[in-house]
Amino acid sequence: MPERAEWIAVDWGTSALRIWAMRGSEVLAETRGSEGMGQLAPEDYEAVLLRHAERYLAGDRVTEVLVCGMAGARTGWREAPYRAVPCTPAGEGAVKVPVRDERLKVRILPGLSQARPVDVMRGEETQIAGFLAGRPRFDGVICLPGTHTKWVQISAGEVVSFRTFMTGELFALLAGQSVLRLSVASDGHDADAFRDAVGDAISRPESLGAALFSLRAGSLLEGLDPVVARARLSGLLIGLELAGARPWWLGAEVVLIGSAAVAEPYREALAAQGLAAELVSGERMALAGLIAAREVMA
């Protein structure tokens, strides 16, 4: 019989959720589900949560559940309105979610918004809070690579400003759905081709559309290796982003938060520009952020 949790931490994203059964800051058990926000209606969430976490609930008291991520979107479980930057990354503005099961008390952490340039994040603020919990004096830039990569300026424990680039989603669309799918391998990497493409995109960002089609033409005319094509596609898109994000990383201390698979190419691309970025696990930071937010809220 599993141990009962003091509280439950949940990172509920667009395509998956992670659940930790907690006692204070100690993890008693961990589980995952594939029921992301993208496939759920508001009335589905409580049942999904119970399916994965009921075994951690005590029968004789209320167990607190703290959720971050897309479950707080307008189209999620219940909207947790954005907090405007500059502000601390997490702990304020949690929204209580009405539930039927009396053993549950559920709150969702809000995302962050920015007026100029207009931007939003949801979920990443909790990873940032987790990072700052361990490094409260950090003053610099955090980059969270992903479907929608975030560049975040941190100072005095606050998110000062941020900017989102659609790089990950562009890669997925081009590699999976465009004519390039016929020329690009579904995995594999070539460090030289990647680095060259990063450099090409940084020096000629305006040529993206032509550089992309060259992958197809190279494959038709010259038998371009699909693994090289994949590395070039990734390099062109990350290079374009680095060109646009240059004010963020140039001369800054940069920390990359994310899974190794997604963050490592960014580390590689920044290294080629002479910048040594630190790489930190996003999953660990999400949990650390939920723990930190709970402490702030207590």
The residues that touch its own copies, with contacts defined as CB under 8 A, are 74, 82, 113-115, 117-120, 148-149, 163-167, 169-170, 173-174, 177-179, 204-210, 212-214, 216-218, 220-222, 237, 240-241, 243-246
State both tokens at 126: 């909790």
Least separation in angstroms between residue 50's CB and its own copies is 29
Beta bridge partners of 155: 158
CA–CA separation, 110 and 88 (whole Å): 12
**In angstroms, rounded to a whole number, what is the distance separating the alpha carbons of residues 83 and 243?**
29
* Minimum CB distance to its own copies smaller for 9 or for 245: 245
Of the two residues 27 and 182, which places its CB atom closer to its own copies in the complex?
182
Sheet holding 119-121, edge to edge: 83-84, 112-114, 119-121
Shortest distance (Å) from residue 151 CB to its own copies: 9
* Complex with its own copies: residue 106 or 211, whichever CB lies closer: 211
Question: Which CB, 58 or 179, lies closer to its own copies?
Answer: 179
- 3-state secondary structure at position 233: helix
The nearest distance, CB 207 to its own copies, in angstroms, is 4
Nearer to its own copies, 18 or 216 (CB): 216
Give how far the C-alpha of residue 263 lies from the chain's centroid of Cα atoms, to the nearest Å: 10
- Judged by beta carbon, residue 25 or residue 113, the one nearer its own copies is 113
How far is residue 124's CA from residue 122's CA, in Å, rounded to a whole number? 6
| Token couple for 3 | 């141990």
Contacts of 242 (CB under 8 A, 6+ apart): 198, 201, 202, 249, 269, 270, 273
| Tokens read off for 89 | 């990354």
Closer to its own copies by Cβ: residue 16 or 208:
208
Q: Where are the beta strands (DSSP E) in the chain?
A: 7-12, 17-23, 26-33, 63-68, 83-84, 95-97, 104-108, 112-114, 119-121, 140-144, 149-155, 158-165, 254-258, 278-281
Output the smallest distance, CB 134 to its own copies, in A: 28
Kindly state the smallest distance separating residue 277's Cβ from its own copies, in Å: 18
Shortest Cβ 3–its own copies spacing (Å): 39
Would residue 160 be called left, alpha or beta, if left means φ above 0 and alpha means ψ between -120 and 50 degrees?
alpha
Q: Pick the closer one to its own copies by CB: 124 or 288.
A: 124
Q: DSSP 3-state assignment of 172?
A: helix
In the complex, the smallest distance separating the C-beta of residue 285 from its own copies, rounded to whole angstroms, is 22
| Shortest Å distance, C-beta 177 to its own copies | 6
